[in-house]
Structure 1
Amino acid sequence: MKAVTWQGKRDVRVEEVPDPRIEEPTDAVIRITSSGLCGSDLHLYEVLTPFMTPGDILGHEPMGIVEEVGAGVPDLAVGDRVVVPFQIACGNCWMCMTGLPTQCETTQVTSEGMGAALFGYTRLYGAVPGAQAEYLRVPQAQFGPIKVPEGPPDDRFVYLSDVLPTAWQAVSYADVPEGGSVAVLGLGPIGDMACRVAQVRGAGRVFGVDLVSDRLRRARARGVETYDLRNFDSEKELVQAIRDETDGRGPDAVIDAVGTEAHGSATARLAQNATAVLPRKLSGPFAERFSIDRLAALHTAIELVRRGGTLSLTGVYGGMADPLPMLTMFDKQIQVRMGQANVRRWTDEIMPYLTDEDPLGVDDFATHHVPLSDAPHAYETFQKKQDGTVKVLMRP
């Protein structure tokens, strides 16, 4: 089959690889009909290269048709239309039963000290072949795949794999009071969708911050009060502008949808770039012990949120030596919640919004639909924020 493979920093290729097959009774194999390109994939493209191996198959936002089912998967049948969550979880362990499939005790990558395995996301998360491919082996298929009805196009449901539950959890963790205010830093796919989710869940005011004109325009068209970072000389000016709209206090909650590659963190960027070009035997251990994130977005969030407010971190962070302003966080009595989205924890709550009325705007959420063969160009365009690229769906 054809699949998108990682070959090095900013080097992805579409190659022929072996077809997946059933390896365990709880496996299924699906034929991919749509697969998303995620902002998290860009971290592999640029920053998390020390944890990648040439030939790794990328992607973790799939939907498709069941082609084959193992004997231990009683509720799936060949021909079922399914969305597959980005994390691999059993559904039966203590963590899964308490709503934390990201910490599944069956699939935890204990050799790396990490949580549940993920599709297409570094050796830290199991080096499981990903979903930007023609076919996908799905472990723990007795729990993961979400059956969806025939009829509507893939765009209606594909975001249940990652974008929707990630944005939903970000807003849930933000704990925005009814009629309250929330600021979303970063208006890429997750930040954009988090704004939409906050609106339908009763936020009174939603502020969105970015520095890409197309993203700002897109959010503004849906009623988000947008702030272009390029119009401010400093973080303090931006913070003050939003505080002025919230009785001088700042918003009740701030969602950081940027993560490790935040604009404006020059020193950390240099460190990340240096790690990425070290020999592989050195880069992995160095990154595991000394890696730091670009923290400009997080520092802005800490400064911006009102005293006693909540920070919800959904942008990916991977640093091991990140300096944080603990005095400020303690003094402001900030609550912080974070982590990978627990997909199956939220899907039943999200499904009623995937109606013909389409309140979340999923049907036209993707800005680009491309064949799998165009993946290298799609990665480059998305990484450079060109051509209005916000969300890309690939179709084999």
Structure 2
Amino acid sequence: MRALCWHEKGDVRVDTVADPEIKHPRDAIIKVTACAICGSDLHLLDGYQPTMMAGDILGHENMGEVVALGSEVTNLKIGDRVVVPFTISCGDCFFCRKGLFSACERTNPNAEMAIKAMGHSPAGLFGFSHMLGGYCGGQAEYLRVPMADIGPIKIPDNVTDEQALFLSDIFPTGYMAAENAQIEPGDTVAIWGCGPVGQFAIRSALMLGAGRVIAIDEVAERLAMAEAGGAEVINFAEVDDVYDELQFRTKGRGPDSCIDAVGCEASAHGSVDAVMDKVKAATFLTTDRVHVLREAIMSCRMGGTVSIPGVYVGMGDKIPIGAMMNKGLTIKTGQTHVQRYAAPLLARIEAGDIDPSFVVTHPAALEDAPVMYEKFRDKKEGVIKVVLRPHG
């Protein structure tokens, strides 16, 4: 089959690789009908995520048609259309029973790697390094799905691929980010990053009762999409200081909740800390550029909440923990517990509360994936979300 493979930093290619096979009775094989490039995939392209190996198949936003099933998968049948959560979860361990599916303690065969880096191991993830399981991703013609009796959700015929696909990651991620923000009716929520996760966080915050959402980015197309979704916007390239602007717009109190939908590759204009982060990351003195996280902590009101769906991979410098503690902030983070959210969010799609296809700007063929990775990373040609069709 054809699949998008990582070779080294800055180098991804579509290669011919072996077709996946059933390896365990709880496996399924799907023919991938649609997959997407995620913002966190760019951390792989840019070399921020450790333990990648040449030939690794990328992609963790996947859906398709079931073409083979292991003997213990009884909830699916051949021909079903399914969306596959990016988290691989067993459904029966201590954490899965609590609904903390991204903390599953049974699905990372390389848990010792993660324990050394993080203290404990999260769940295995599709296409996201050997430290997180070494599983093949789904930017490919076919995908092996472990724990297929727990993860995949069946999609009805009246929901299109473009509407359903993002149940695999970015819609639940944006929704969980808004839920973690502990929004009360009428609250003001500031969201850094108007990429795909930020777009879903904006709409989810409003669905959960926010009175105002203020979205922060510098890319015109992203800001326009945020405004179309109901947000006020700040172009951080056009203001002297985002903190000052947020204090002005909230009459000195600060936003009730702040959402960091950027993560480890944050940038800023004229900010000394952001410049230092970039220099340190380039010289391997730090792994993560945390300008946005610093800004969110400083901007949030006393007793507010900072929610972090943006992906961080290691360590960042000069996080203002004193401000965080003295302001009494609540910090909520985590990889998304997709299996908890997929079914209720599918119900919202079917009810017409949201049409997730709004975020798609660039449909493409799988063979175009390397070029689309570069355009997405470099924010060229208005790229916000790329959906790939492996079979045309």
TM-score by length of 1: 0.93
For each residue in 1:205-260, what CA deviation from the matched residue of structure 2 results, as whole angstroms up to 9, or x when unmatched? 00000011110111112221000001122xxx322222222231011100000000
Q: Choose the corresponding residue for 1:208, options 202, 208, 215.
A: 215
Q: Secondary structure at the match of 1:226?
A: strand
Structure 1 stretches lacking a partner, 5+ long:
276-289
User: Given the alignment of the two structures, is residue 273 of structure 1 paired with residue 289 of structure 2, yes or no?
Assistant: no
Q: Where do residues 214-293 of structure 1 align in structure 2 (5 Å cutoff)?
A: 214-233=221-240, 237-264=241-268, 265-275=274-284, 291-293=286-288
Q: Is the 8 A contact 1:47 1:272 kept in 2?
A: no
CA distance in 2, matches of 1:6, 1:274: 22
Match in the other structure for 1:369 = 363
Match in the other structure for 2:92 = 92
Q: Where do residues 330-345 of structure 1 align in structure 2 (5 Å cutoff)?
A: 330-345=325-340
Match in the other structure for 2:6 = 6
Q: Is the 8 A contact 1:87 1:118 kept in 2?
A: yes
Deviation at 1:353, TM superposition (A): 1.4
CA distance in 1, matches of 2:50, 2:349: 38
Q: Is the 8 A contact 1:197 1:360 kept in 2?
A: no
Q: Partner amino acid for 2:335?
A: Q
Match in the other structure for 1:77 = 77
Deviation at 1:87, TM superposition (A): 0.8
Q: Is the 8 A contact 1:167 1:191 kept in 2?
A: yes
Structure 2 stretches lacking a partner, 5+ long:
116-120, 269-273
Q: Is the 8 A contact 2:31 2:66 kept in 1?
A: yes
CA distance in 2, matches of 1:79, 1:90: 23
Equivalenced residues, count: 378
User: Given the alignment of the two structures, is residue 138 of structure 1 paired with residue 173 of structure 2, yes or no?
Assistant: no
Match in the other structure for 2:118 = none
Q: Is the 8 A contact 2:111 2:131 kept in 1?
A: no
Identity %: 42
User: Given the alignment of the two structures, is residue 15 of structure 1 paired with residue 15 of structure 2, yes or no?
Assistant: yes
TM-score by length of 2: 0.94
Q: Choose the corresponding residue for 1:394, options 385, 388, 391.
A: 388
Q: Is the 8 A contact 2:159 2:350 kept in 1?
A: no
Match in the other structure for 1:158 = 165
CA distance in 2, matches of 1:52, 1:377: 20
Q: Secondary structure at the match of 1:215?
A: helix
User: Given the alignment of the two structures, is residue 101 of structure 1 paired with residue 95 of structure 2, yes or no?
Assistant: no
- Cα distance, 1:49–1:306 mapped onto 2, change above 3 Å: closer
Q: Secondary structure at the match of 1:231?
A: coil
State the superposition RMSD in angstroms.
Answer: 1.4
User: Given the alignment of the two structures, is residue 304 of structure 1 paired with residue 299 of structure 2, yes or no?
Assistant: yes
Q: Is the 8 A contact 1:307 1:334 kept in 2?
A: yes
Q: Secondary structure at the match of 1:125?
A: coil
User: Given the alignment of the two structures, is residue 360 of structure 1 paired with residue 354 of structure 2, yes or no?
Assistant: yes
Match in the other structure for 1:37 = 37
